[in-house]
Amino acid sequence: MGRPARESGVLLHVTSLPSGRLGDDARAFVDWLREAGQRWWQILPVTPPDEHHSPYRSMSAFAGWEGLLEDPQAPVTGRERDAFRRRHAFWIDGWERFAGGDAVDDQVRFAREWDALRAYARERGVRIMGDLPIFVAWGGADHREHPELFNDALVTGCPPDAFTADGQLWGNPVYDWPALWRRGYRWWVERFRRTMQLHDTVRVDHFRGFVAGWGVPAGDATARGGRWRRGPGQALFDAVAREVPDLALVAENLGVITPPVEALRRHLGLPGMAVLQFAFDGRPDNEHHPDHITEDTVAYPGTHDNQTVQGWWSDASGDQRAAVVAAARARDITDPEPWWMFTRLALESPARLAVIAAQDIIGLGDEARMNSPGTEDGNWTWRMPRRSLGDRHAERLLAATARAGRA
Q: pLDDT tens for residues 339-365?
A: 999 999 999 999 999 999 999 999 999
Amino acid present at 74? A
Residue 5, pLDDT score: 85
Q: pLDDT tens for residues 192-213?
A: 999 999 999 999 999 999 999 9
Question: Is residue 99 within 8 Å of 63, Cβ to Cβ?
Answer: yes
Q: Where residue 3 falls among pLDDT bands split at 50, 70, 90?
A: low
Give 36's contacts (C-beta < 8 A, 6+ positions apart). 10, 393, 394, 395, 397, 398, 401
What is the arrangement of strands in the sheet containing 127-132, beginning at the earlier edge strand?
249-251, 201-204, 127-132, 40-42, 7-11, 353-357, 297-300, 272-275
Q: Is the pLDDT of residue 331 over 80?
A: yes
Q: pLDDT tens for residues 41-79?
A: 999 999 999 999 999 999 999 999 999 999 999 999 999
Q: pLDDT tens for residues 75-121?
A: 999 999 999 999 999 999 999 999 998 999 999 999 999 999 999 99
Q: Where residue 376 falls among pLDDT bands split at 50, 70, 90?
A: confident
| Mean pLDDT on 224-252 | 96
Closest listed residue to residue 195, CA positions, set 238, 147, 248: 248
Residue 352's CB: how many other CB atoms inside 10 A? 20
| Mean pLDDT on 130-158 | 96
Residue 163, pLDDT score: 67
Residue 4, pLDDT score: 67
Residue 1, pLDDT score: 41
Q: Is the pLDDT of residue 276 over 70?
A: yes
Q: pLDDT tens for residues 161-179?
A: 766 889 889 999 999 999 9
For the entire predicted model, the pTM comes to 0.95
Cα–Cα distance between 59 and 56 in angstroms, integer? Answer: 9
Mean pLDDT taken over the chain: 95
Q: Is the pLDDT of residue 297 over 80?
A: yes
Among all residues, which ones are annotated catalytic?
Answer: 205, 252, 305
Residue 309's CB: how many other CB atoms inside 10 A? 29
Question: Is residue 103 within 8 Å of 96, Cβ to Cβ?
Answer: yes
